[in-house]
Structure formats: C-alpha cells, structure tokens
DNA sequence: CGTATTAGCTAATACGCATTAGCAACCCCA
DNA sequence: TGGGGTTGCTAATGCGTATTAGCTAATACG
C-alpha cells in the first residue's frame, strides 16, 4: 500500500513488479487509453502501480512533452477579493484539467518581472488581468500562450465583463433616483476595465444631459485607503455631489467609511455605488449598492480558453461576448436629497474631517 | 537579445555559440560559482547566454536534482484575508529563494486531496495552516518536508502566534471595561489555533471569577455568515451578553452586522472583539476592536523554516517562540452598560431578527 | 629531463517519463 | 503451407540539465 522507501516510485519500479517493460507501464498509465495493450497486462500494471503507490512525476512528464502543466495568473493585487475570485475561478477549472496555477500579484514587483519568473518555471500559459497587458514589453510574453481578462486585444484571446454597462448601470441608477450632482472616483490607469467603467458612467451622464464639474472627478488608487482619501477630498470641496460612483468596491468602502466618519448621512445626504460586488460589500453598514461582476466566471472562462489553446486547438482572438453585469441595490443609495438652492446645501451634518 | 525561434534556448545552444561543451555551460551558469572554469571562458559563456536570451529550464534542473523548487501552502480558506496574508508572506520569501508557491485552500476539497495534487507536482515541501495537520492521514505527508503554522507538533517544525494570549487579551480587555456577561463565538474545530484562542479567553475569565452561561458559547463556522447566524442566536437568547469575543474577524464582522441590523447599539449595548486584525476590521463601521496577529510574519517564518530544511539543514521540531499578538482598541468595545437588575436589560432597542 | 600536480575542459551518464520503430507471435484466408 | 495482416510487447532514444570521471596541456619540482 505505502512505500517505506525514501525514493519515489518510478515507472521502472512498477515495470519490474508487473514483469513488463517500463515502456508498457508508461503506455498503460499515461499514454493513449486505447493503446494496444492486452487487458490482462493492463490490469497487472495498474495493480502493481497501485500496490507500490506509484505517482507520476509531472516534472519528468513535462520535460519530455515539452509542457509543465502549469499556468500563471497575473493580477495587480491579490488582496482585492475581486482578483482573488478571478484566480480562484481559474484555479478550479485548471485543477480539473490537471494544471497547477501559479498566482501572483504585482504589488511588490512588476508584471514583467513576474512573467519572467513564470517563464523560468516553463508555465505553458498565463492569464493576465488588470495589469495593462497591452503596455507590456513585447518580448515579455513571447513564446507564451496568453489570455487577457477585461482587456480587448488583437494579439491574444480574452474574456471580459461588460464594464461599459457597469458604468452605465451605476449612472442610470443614480440618475433614476433623481441625482444630478454626481461624482466619479477611480484610478488614473491604463487598465482597460477601469477605463470602460468610467466611460460607461460618463456616457450615460451625457445621455442624461448631466455634466460633471471638474472637482468631482477624483483620481485615486483602487484601494480602501484610496477611496478614503478621495472622499475626504470630495467632502472638502466647496460644493458637494449628492452621489458618487466608485470604480470598484474597495474604493467605495473607503469612501463610505470617510463619509460616515465625517458625519455624512449615507444614503440620505450622499449615495454611493461601488463595482464588483465583493463579499464585503454586503457586510459593511450600510450595505453597499454595487454593480455585480462575475469574477469567478471570468477566471473560469479565461482558464478554459487558455487550456483549449494548450491542447492545441485554435482559439479565435475575436472579442467574445461580454459577461453581463447587474446592479445590486442595497443601502448606500437613495433618492437625491431635496435640491435646496444649489450648492449651499452642503455641510448639513458637519463636514469636519 | 531576443530569440525569434519558437524553441527555447538550451545549454547546448549556448555551448555551441560560445564554442565550449554543454557541461562547461552548465558549470558556469548553474554549478558551484567557484567551479574550475577559466575567467575568459566564463565570460564567453555568459556573454553567449545573454545574447541568446538563455533561461534555465527549471523542470529539467529539478529532474536531475530531484527537486522541483516549489512548495505548497495549504489553508482552509483563501478568501479569509488572514490566510491570504500567510500565503503572501510565504510567497515573498520563497520567491527570493527561487521557489514557487502553490497555494490552495480546502473549501472545495480536502487537505488530503490537496496534498495529493501537490505531491504529484513534486513539491519539495508544504506549509500547513489551519487545517488540522495532526489529524491528517499519516501517509498524506510522508516523503514531504512540512512546516505547520499555529499548531504544535512533535513531528514537524512549526511557527505559531500566541493564540492563548489572544484569547486572554480579549477577555482582559472586556473585563477591564466592566463586562461580566461575556459570550464566545467560534468554530467547533480541532484546529489548534482556534482552540487556543478559546482556551485563553476562558482561562482569563476563570481567573477573573467569571463563568459563561451555556447559551453564550456559540459554535459557528469561522466566516462572516457564521458570525451573522451566531449573533442572531445570541440576540434571540432570553438573556443577552454585554460583550462577545469572536474567534476571528470574519465572525466578528458577521456578528457586528447582525447586531446593527437588529438595532443593537454597538458598542454601548454590546461590545465585540475580533481576532486577526484583517484590513477590513478597520473599514467597517464602527471599527472593529480586535487582536492583531502577524499573519504575514507567520507565513514568512514558516517559509524560511521550510527552505532551511530543503537546503539540507537540520531543523528542530522543538516549539519556537510564539509570535506576540496585541490588542487593537477600536470602536466596537466600550465600558459595560449599567447592570440594571440583571437579565431584563435586554431588548432595549428591539430584538427582532 | 622525467614525474607530480594542477588547471581547464569535455564525454558520458542519469534524472523519470513518453514515444516510436520494430520484433515476435499469432491469426486469417487462400 | 504460406503470405499478409494484426496484436502485444520491448529496446532505444530524447527531453534539458547537473554531475562526475577523466583527459590534455601546462606548470612545478627534484
């Protein structure tokens, strides 16, 4: 049952035990399942393998097949639950196909350096999300199968959510609640997903005939502390918006935090909409209204797309259907406060930091 | 600089270009840095490698050296930021040493199955945290170097935080605030860390002469929804505690959520203490008082310990110094409400679900 | 000048597996 | 009985690297 020997069991060991050649063992245990091996022999080999506790050495297999059966996933920040979900989604389908995934974020590194390390590991392919694949040095990805998430590309296939709709839904929701004084908080980035969320938001506003004053477009890192700082800025501005759309939930949670701390009544004085619908969105108080984005599904699809390439199938680089997003109404949005006479409305509840 | 060829550059390619043998290339590029190779030759090889963009094949290297230069990290739940931090901490030191880390959680699987997969990958070792390593089938870990986190073992070396102190600090903090009616919410588990937190809490209570009524010890999964359900239970009990210690921050956040939803004034009617100090603890409102546990440091130390073993050094199985934890006072704890006349105090603010 | 010694390199081999060419035995049918 | 086909297996080889034994040439020494 178990093997007490320190040395792992190899196909040779199994072969010796089953009284066949190593090649036969390999045929039975790995090769084409309909290889020409007599049923009796096949059973004898499998039995021997079982008894010895044989376990194929994936490294060796990879060496001869020229594959490592591992893929990398590169995201900007694993502590962002959204990206973690993407990784998790990918991991699940990869695992089913016998692939390992090497996740990594670029907080303490750069995409290039990370890809470097992944290539040294001979990963068969990588999934790239949120790090601006298009801007990567051209040879960082050569010899590598790639799938990009939330970023259109003529070079690699990809999967994406409907980020434009995300922004639009947020805008329409807020406008529908009567808000006319809207702000946007998002990162200054070339990451496509973020830009689309932003663009969708502004497009919808324009369609509604709403312009957004300059100080109400706040640039900040897509993190909780980023959102916190951004909201402080907004609250300090001479005239305040009645609603804010944040490019992701972390920003939104930071913004919410800052608003509550400043004594602002959310949602009655200020509505906040996030994006992603991470678990914490429904844990904070008040619960965060947000746009749900199917992170795990994105990861899973990306992995499937990548695996299909790795199995040698041709995969179209054509843009695929965008995964739908949807508004999740919770407690941080409400009808716009009565308009008063414009800007002086601010400060109802004390606007100290 | 780059190689347009589809086939990766090998030592043979470098050898040919430098006019030396493959063995020499290997000596220069990987072997003992003080191998007997003439300086001129060494430079010629390095130059050729550079020009061709040579990158060692870690799989092949692993095959011959009998190592994969990869380690696994097994945790119960990667979406718990605490465990993610452990993984991240490990990843950083592993990466520096040229090791990859294969993280995985056991949400959709079992520790055994996960270890199975890791062994198939020929990982050189594993870090195990929070999945009850002691209870694992004995051969699941044979032939594997192991480091356990937050779990004493006579079989493997480990690192741990002072979980007993965590529980004690929570208890002392609450007792110091005048609370006498204390509850505990934690998982029914054999995971050592959780048990120690619990034990520390109860030990300190006993020392203070406080007994905890049976209905105030609530078992629940260590998740947000677990905490939510647990707090509902507590609030429905005929007599309510004035303070609750939760075995981790996720539970605490769920509990906080449920309390606020029920209209309970936290912290004036009810104090809540969490454990771990994940980032979100300071994002929720009111901010969560908690016991900070150095997750990344745990992961980093675990990795160092494991790597030391992998480099062939002997590592003691003796328990090491426990990493200190500390109380982080925030806004979910306050002095105990005036005692009134005992149990009838409950329900001040509506105790509907 | 002959013999040790050393420096500097290479040929050969192994790691564990997958894969292919090919051998031997057997079958079928004429 | 014999030729062609098929079945079932194995020997041999290679994947890219690390490592060792050993060769050659140069240097040192008596």
| B92-109 tens-digit pLDDT | 999 999 999 999 999 988
What is the pLDDT at residue B331?
Answer: 97
> Could you write out the DSSP letters of every residue in B249-298?
HHHHHHHHHHHHHTT--TTTT-EEEEEE--GGGGTSSSPPEEEE--HHHH
Give the CA-to-C1' distance from B43 to C6 in angstroms: 22
Closest C1' nucleotide to A66's CA:
D15
CB count within 10 Å of CB B113 equals: 14
Neighbour-count burial of A134, counting CB atoms closer than 10 A to its CB (0-12 exposed, 13-18 middle, 19+ buried) = middle
Of B85, B142, B253, the CB nearest to A283: B253
- Do A284 and B283 make contact, defined as CB atoms within 8 angstroms? yes
What is the pLDDT at residue A340?
Answer: 55
B204-207 own/partner pairs: CB under 8 Å, 24+ apart:
B204/B167, B204/B168, B204/B170, B204/B171, B204/B172, B204/B175, B205/B171, B205/B175
| Structure-model confidence comparison of residues B113 and B73, the more confident one | B73
Interface test with B, best of A10, A69, A143, A267 (most B CBs within 10 A): A143
Interface test with A, best of B95, B283, B300 (most A CBs within 10 A): B283
- Do A108 and B102 make contact, defined as CB atoms within 8 angstroms? no
**Treating both helix axes as pointing N-terminal to C-terminal, what angle do A58-65 and B58-65 enclose, rounded to 10 degrees?**
130
Residues of B within 8 A of A117 (CB-CB) are 95, 100
Interface test with A, best of B118, B285, B300 (most A CBs within 10 A): B285
- Do A279 and B254 make contact, defined as CB atoms within 8 angstroms? no
Cα dihedral B259→B264→B268→B273 (10° resolution) = -10
Window from B1-5, B145-149, B289-293 with minimum mean pLDDT: B1-5
3-state class of B134 per DSSP? helix
Q: CA A5 to CA A1: how far, in whole Å?
A: 12
Q: How confident is the model at residue B343 (pLDDT cuts 50, 70, 90)?
A: very low
Give the CA-to-C1' distance from B225 to D6 in angstroms: 64
- Do B284 and A283 make contact, defined as CB atoms within 8 angstroms? yes
Q: Indicate if CB(B10) is under 7 A from strand C.
A: no
Q: CA A257 to CA A225: how far, in whole Å?
A: 10
Window from B57-61, B125-129, B311-315 with minimum mean pLDDT: B311-315
Could you report the per-residue pLDDT of B227-262, keeping only the tens digit for each?
999 999 999 988 999 999 999 999 999 999 999 999
Q: Name the token pair of A322.
A: 């965008």
Window from A112-116, A290-294, B13-17 with minimum mean pLDDT: A112-116
- Do A95 and B117 make contact, defined as CB atoms within 8 angstroms? yes
Q: Per-residue pLDDT for A353 more than 80?
A: no
What is the pLDDT at residue B6?
Answer: 60
DSSP letter for B89, please. Answer: H
Q: Indicate if CB(A53) is under 7 A from strand C.
A: no
Q: Per-residue pLDDT for B345 more than 70?
A: no
Question: What's the CA angle centered on A156, arms A152 and A159, to 5 degrees?
Answer: 50
Q: How confident is the model at residue B135 (pLDDT cuts 50, 70, 90)?
A: confident
Q: Per-residue pLDDT for B268 more than 80?
A: yes
Q: CA A44 to CA A28: how far, in whole Å?
A: 10
A143 φψ region: left (φ > 0), alpha (ψ -120 to 50), beta (else):
left
Q: Tally DSSP H helices, then E strands, for chain B.
A: 11, 11
Q: Indicate if CB(A1) is under 7 A from strand D.
A: no
Asked if B90 and B101 count as a contact pair (C-beta separation under 8 A), the reply is: yes
Residue B345, CA distances (Å) to B183, B184, B270, B336, B341 in order: 16, 20, 12, 12, 7
Q: Per-residue pLDDT for B4 more than 60?
A: no
Q: CA A113 to CA A116: how far, in whole Å?
A: 5
Q: Indicate if CB(A59) is under 7 A from strand D.
A: no
Q: Indicate if CB(B11) is under 7 A from strand D.
A: yes
| Structure-model confidence comparison of residues B272 and B5, the more confident one | B272
Q: CA A58 to CA A53: how far, in whole Å?
A: 15
Q: Which residue is nearest to nucleotide D6 (CA to C1')?
A: A36
Question: If you average pLDDT over residues B313-320, what whole number do you get?
Answer: 84
- Number of CB pairs, chain A paired with chain B, less than 8 A apart: 98
Of A6, A84, A283, the CB nearest to B257: A283
Question: What's the CA angle centered on A346, arms A197 and A210, to 5 degrees?
Answer: 40
Q: Per-residue pLDDT for B346 more than 50?
A: no
Asked if A64 and A48 count as a contact pair (C-beta separation under 8 A), the reply is: no
Q: Per-residue pLDDT for A126 more than 80?
A: yes
Could you report the per-residue pLDDT of A224-235, keeping only the tens digit for each?
999 999 999 999
Among the listed residues A2, A3, A23, the one whose alpha carbon sits nearest the alpha carbon of residue A12: A23
Beta strand B289-292 with B326-328: parallel, antiparallel or unpaired? antiparallel
Among the listed residues B206, B115, B175, the one whose alpha carbon sits nearest the alpha carbon of residue A55: B115
Q: Which residue is nearest to nucleotide D20 (CA to C1')?
A: B23
What is the pLDDT at residue B29?
Answer: 92
- Do A253 and B68 make contact, defined as CB atoms within 8 angstroms? no
Q: How confident is the model at residue B206 (pLDDT cuts 50, 70, 90)?
A: very high
Q: Indicate if CB(B56) is under 7 A from strand D.
A: yes
Closest C1' nucleotide to A27's CA:
C18
Q: Indicate if CB(B27) is under 7 A from strand D.
A: yes
Q: Indicate if CB(A20) is under 7 A from strand D.
A: yes
For B255, the closest chain A residue by CA position comes to A283
């Amino acid at each position: 049952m178990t093997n007490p020997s320190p040395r792992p069991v190899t196909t040779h060991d199994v072969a010796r035990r089953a009284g066949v050649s190593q090649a036969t063992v390999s045929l039975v245990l790995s090769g084409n399942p309909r290889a020409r091996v007599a049923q009796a022999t096949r059973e004898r080999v499998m039995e021997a393998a079982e008894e010895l506790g044989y376990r194929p050495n994936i490294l060796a297999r990879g060496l001869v097949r020229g594959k490592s059966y591992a893929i990398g996933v590169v995201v900007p920040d694993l502590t962002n639950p959204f990206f973690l979900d993407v990784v998790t989604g990918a991991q699940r389908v990869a695992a089913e196909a016998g692939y390992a995934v090497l996740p990594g974020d670029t907080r303490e590194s750069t995409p290039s350096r990370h890809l470097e390390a992944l290539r040294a590991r001979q990963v068969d392919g990588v999934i790239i999300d949120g790090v601006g694949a298009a801007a990567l040095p051209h040879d960082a990805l050569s010899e590598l199968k790639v799938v990009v998430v939330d970023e259109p590309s003529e070079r690699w296939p990809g999967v994406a959510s409907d980020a434009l709709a995300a922004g639009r839904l947020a805008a329409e929701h807020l406008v529908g609640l009567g808000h006319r004084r809207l702000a946007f908080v998002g990162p200054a980035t070339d990451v496509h997903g973020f830009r689309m969320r932003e663009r969708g938001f502004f497009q919808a506003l324009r369609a509604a005939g709403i312009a957004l004053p300059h100080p109400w477009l706040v640039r900040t890192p897509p993190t909780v502390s980023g959102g916190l700082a951004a909201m402080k800025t907004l609250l300090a501005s001479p005239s305040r918006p009645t609603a804010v759309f944040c490019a992701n939930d972390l920003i939104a949670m930071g913004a919410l935090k800052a608003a509550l701390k400043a004594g602002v009544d959310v949602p009655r004085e200020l509505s906040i909409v996030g994006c992603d619908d991470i678990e914490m969105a429904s844990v904070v108080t008040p619960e965060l209204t947000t746009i749900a984005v199917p992170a795990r599904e994105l990861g899973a699809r990306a992995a499937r797309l990548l695996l299909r390439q790795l199995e040698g199938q041709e995969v179209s680089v054509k843009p695929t259907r965008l995964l739908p997003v949807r508004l999740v109404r919770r407690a941080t949005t409400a009808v716009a406060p009565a308009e008063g006479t414009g800007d002086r409305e601010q400060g109802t509840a004390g606007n100290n930091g």
